[in-house]
Structure 1
Amino acid sequence: MADGRARVAASILDADLSNLAHAVQRVERAGADRIHLDVMDAHFVPNLTFGPKTIKHLRRRTELPFDAHLMVAEPGRFLDEYLDAGCDSITIHVEIEEAIEPTLRRIREAGRASGLALKPSTPLSALEPYRELLDIVLVMTVEPGFGGQTFMRDVAAAKILAARDLLDHKAFGAEVHVDGGINRATAEFAGGLGVDILVAGSALFQKGHDMAREIRLIRALADEGFQYTLNDGEPPIPRDKMVSFTSLPKFLALQFMEEIEAGGIPVIMLRGDGQINPDGMRDYDILVPASTEELVVERHAAARDAYLTKAVAWRSAFVVEHGIIPPPDHL
């Protein structure tokens, strides 16, 4: 698991297409955070790559998440096949003529992340009608269809930071992706615009380059760009860092966890190493993503105080009724 905020999605478009299983395993060993699958149909874009059957065979080769980028004219027609293939997120293009909303809804109903991509010439406003259905906005900084093109800085500057506003309905998990021309020379600029996921392809598969080093450089430079452009020189909060919000007896912790998660914020509940309750069991820690800590405090600080008061009352009542039960030996 990588430190920091930025994540690298390795596109296998520039890999040896006759041995994609090796390419997937290679980028995983090199430290990529996920696999970016460029699906092209030779209709929406003038290139043809691979489809759901290939993806399904690749799925067994790695546990990395699969981000499918469907550059196809009729994604809804074949969506079930991509879902069955094991894609963790599916992003379609806003420029297609097919109805978009039904496909986004089906992706979400399947429990996957849904996204919309837009070509360099397409304004962000084209995504506005679908914002409530979006988990991902993918900003194309090259023309879709082929790898190895030059990064369009003006497109990135105009869209990446602004794309965040389209995802403000999500308390956690929203992602802005950038795809096209990402390498060590462009990662810092993209990171300074607040991008979450950097799709890198040709930069990783250049002969003579150390793929693992390229991934580390792209990730680190993007974080540096974020730190000094958007975060007042402070290092970004690591994307996967969890912090303790409170500790409670198990039955209260379960109730509070459900309340927090109802607001779209994931919670991990772990048995803590602190107070042992009169029933012989330790309190459970409620952990939330560090990036959401301020929001959780804003939403749930009063409820936390109320739950802590309930915990004190429950402990007192338990002692009166049952006495104190010695903790198990493993505690």
Structure 2
Amino acid sequence: MAETMLAWEIGRPGPITSHPLHAVRRPVPTPVAGELLVRVAASAVCRTDLHLAEGDLPPRRPRVVPGHEVVGEVVAVGPEIANWRVGDRAGIAWLRDTCGRCRYCRRGSENLCPRSRYTGWDADGGYAEYTVAPAAYAYHLPDGYPDEELAPLLCAGIIGFRALRLADLPAGGRLGIYGFGASAHLTAQVAIAQGATVHVLTRAEPARRLALQLGAASAGAAFDPPPEPLDAAILFAPVGELVPTALAALDRGGTLAVAGIHLSDIPALTYQEHLFQERTLRSVTANTRADGQELLAHAAAHRLRVAVTRYPLDAADRALADLAADRLNGAAVLTP
């Protein structure tokens, strides 16, 4: 194993056109007690990485290596680990660590832990040839998928899975999906497998075509009304202006779940039009490990079609720029 590795770090956050991502050589990290050292095989590119690079999310660590949808091979195991071995395939996701003691952790809501830490934000992530991760927060992965298709499941898949549950979609219900990128195209497949009728609202024509190929009942422009009232909706696009539109499309008792970690400002809402008749607006905050385990179990039982665009690791800045410009259909994945 080499002593140094290629990695990308966020220098000074700013517009993607200012090139905030820098390629550097770093020492290969050493795992400590409770950690795995993973040789990265695939690292998906998430919109959260873009928010970090552009400064929408405040930096928590200088020159951090982004990337929190990581698949790789365990090449070293730190002390005090029993359920991982060298050679295992591991998945590393956004949630990296929680206190385990607060009232949120004790009640099963570890995603709300005030001391929670995140891969690629509080600690270096997967835009590198190697990375370390706490073994207790890593995932054993299902067979039947190549590495580059598993990587987007580890955030896009997990957060969409949680958003679908928080949207309170009734059995056989009508689901609206606003925005159709990496997370949405996976969530739509899960919902359809559960018997839902899915209507996709998104600005990009290629994304609308993909939605119909995956089984959506309709695919229209982002601000268009769906063809029928919705029992639930999920907003994946980080566009606050869509919140009133999505709420107005809900039937009585419907729920809108906002799945992003960052959202532009929401315009004023009208109580009668947007919230009355027991409509609900709720946010989705990170995920629990149980969410990840449930999504991966679903992926093992139902073969998901994962749309990916591959980039070599040395083109990470181009992948992020393509995401910013909406030039992607599905998920971008870095492959060292």
TM tier, smaller: under 0.3
Say which structure is richer in strand: 2
Q: Taking structure 2 as the reference length, what is the TM-score of the superposition?
A: 0.24
Say which structure is richer in helix: 1
Q: Taking structure 1 as the reference length, what is the TM-score of the superposition?
A: 0.24
Highest relative contact order (Cα 8 Å, sep 6+), 1 or 2? 2
